[in-house]
Amino acid sequence: MLLFNVAYPRWEFVFQPVAAAYLNLIEPWWKVLRSLALKGRRFGT
């Protein structure tokens, strides 16, 4: 990661807390896709 940062100085890494999934903009999409993929399925365990 450090070498990438040296090679591409315009990129900035932003680390978010583990318990802050709401800050990640992809999380709502994963929720929708997961519900569509599992819709109507039943699992024994």
What pLDDT score was predicted for residue 10? 92
Domain range annotation of the chain: 17-45
> pLDDT digit string (tens) for 6-45?
899 898 888 878 777 777 788 888 888 888 888 888 878 7
Q: Which of 23, 22, 4 is nearest to 13 (CA)?
A: 4
CA distances from 4 to 1, 8, 14, 23, 43 (A): 5, 6, 14, 24, 43
- CB 16 within 8 Å of CB 24: yes
For the entire predicted model, the pTM comes to 0.40
